[in-house]
Amino acid sequence: GAGVSQSPSNKVTEKGKDVELRCDPISGHTALYWYRQRLGQGLEFLIYFQGNSAPDKSGLPSDRFSAERTGESVSTLTIQRTQQEDSAVYLCASSLATGGAYEQYFGPGTRLTVT
């Protein structure tokens, strides 16, 4: 079946503009995660969803970042008033259920470049 998909694959935007990143998880996966991977660095947890609710938003870097998920399906990560330090690859992952033991399946990522 289809894996996790993300769009766009690449996004170049000017500083100060808003961007919206989309994640389509694997069908039936109730848990969804967003991570940020800066160049040459590890994954930085941003937020996760269990169904449509987000129990843990502690990783969001600032109030310019927000995310939502509708219908236990698609999720969007929105970055307002983008800054150059927001440049990174944004990864989405989904898992069948919660509990920590379930494998996370990762999408290919969205490479965001803020000029």
**Residues at the contact surface with other proteins, assessed by CB under 8 A:** 31, 33, 35, 41-43, 45, 48, 50, 55-56, 59, 91, 93, 98-101, 103-104, 106-109
What's the closest the beta carbon of residue 84 comes to other proteins, in angstroms? Answer: 22
Place of tokens 């600032």: 62
- Shorter beta-carbon distance to other proteins: residue 12 or 97: 97
Q: What is the spatial distance between Cα 17 and Cα 107, in angstroms, rounded to a whole number?
A: 24
Give whichever of 19 and 91 is closer to other proteins, judged by the CB atom: 91
Q: Residue 34: exposed, middle, or buried by beta-carbon count in 10 A (0-12, 13-18, 19+)? A: buried
Residue closer to other proteins (CB basis): 52 or 106? 106
For 4, the token pair is: 């996790």
